Amino acid sequence: MKYTLLILSLFYISFGFAQKLISPFSGSYHLDVDATNQIMIAKGINSADEVISDDVRKQMEGITLKIKKGSITMTMLGQEREMRFSDRASVKDKGICDLVLIQDKDQESTNTKEKYLTLVILDQGKIQLKSEDENSDMDNFVWVKIE
């Protein structure tokens, strides 16, 4: 009985510690259009001489990300999508923490592999959220905290 109590105590302590990994990054972010475009140029998605039209720039500037304990919310083209997560120490190089996505019951499957986003800090306080498969459009986005 005392071992069970000890194990449960350690579990709750470690869970509480893990949720603190994301706390310093809580807040609202907007898309850094130019930094995002530079990544897309480096990956060959855009060409360096391609100019972002005013309409596209305006749409991109309207993309926001809100990080709070237990969920992230992205707003794009007037639509909001919330994803719940639990955080843990990152398993990737340069990763600060991993946001392990919690899937709804209708999305769960016995064959589904774990889905997570890795939070990476860039220069000047900018961040990226990189997917576990490293081929997601989300990997191209650079975020700046709204002060």
User: Tens of pLDDT along 52-72?
Assistant: 889 989 999 999 999 999 999
Residue-level pLDDT at 112: 66
- pTM beyond 0.85: the answer is no
Q: Containing H/E element for 8?
A: helix 2-19
CA-derived radius of gyration, the chain: 18
Residue-level pLDDT at 26: 93
Range list of H helices, 27-119: 33-42, 54-61
Where the chain has pLDDT below 50, the residues are 1-18
Query: Cβ distance 104 to 110 under 8 Å?
Result: no
Query: Cβ distance 30 to 144 under 8 Å?
Result: yes
Closest-CA residue to 74 (of 33, 129, 25): 129
User: Which structural domain range is residue 113 located in?
Assistant: 2-145
In total, how many domains does the chain have?
1
Summarised one tens digit per residue, pLDDT across range 73-86 is 999 988 999 999 99
